[in-house]
Structure 1
């Protein structure tokens, strides 16, 4: 985050939380990638080349249930609380 952005957020009183660097527990996109991989692995027949893989990725990405993604987004408060409670160590997420 740039200094200008930080100053602006402070001036409009937007709460700010220090984000632990590289914390997979606070990175819900990892779960989305896992769902995408599972969907690709289940395709019959599997993609045979890069062009088919690109098509399959787009199709599966578009077919990901939005409620799964929203559930991950809504879990962020619990994820942050779990990381804080674990003093930055691993959590169940």
Structure 2
């Protein structure tokens, strides 16, 4: 007989979503509330605040340059290019977060369309 254990988080975390309709639907909001999950309030359409969105752009550009001819190429190139993203790129995006946040605040929560490198 398998025994299920409840996972307990020792620290309080804040959930960040990208304001996609599936993340902001009434049922999702209800579920998050019932689970007592703190959700970060932030402007929709503001990819400036989410470091992963910048990495997706990097990945798409790198894969596009390689001109995949079929789904197999696409998958292979995506995996290779993802592995080639330097950890320093991730660090730069995280370190530049305060600047992006400040820019969004100054623009009154309108996406700043700045590519931070």
Q: Same fold (TM over 0.5)?
A: yes
Aligned length: 82
Indicate the structure whose relative CO is greater, using CA pairs within 8 Å and at least 6 residues apart.
1
Root mean square deviation of aligned Cα: 2.2
Question: Unpaired runs of 5+ in structure 1?
Answer: 7-15
Distance change >3 Å, CA 17–CA 85, structure 1 → 2? farther
Is the counterpart of residue 33 in structure 1 residue 59 in structure 2?
Answer: no
What does the per-residue CA deviation read over 1:41-87, in whole Å, with 9 as the maximum and x for residues that have no partner? Answer: 332xx322101210111011111111112211221111111111221
What TM-score do you get using the length of structure 2 for normalisation?
A: 0.57
Query: If each structure's helix is expressed as a fraction of its own residues, which one has the higher value?
Result: 1
Distance change >3 Å, CA 48–CA 82, structure 1 → 2? same
What TM-score do you get using the length of structure 1 for normalisation?
A: 0.69
Question: Unpaired runs of 5+ in structure 2?
Answer: 1-14, 16-31
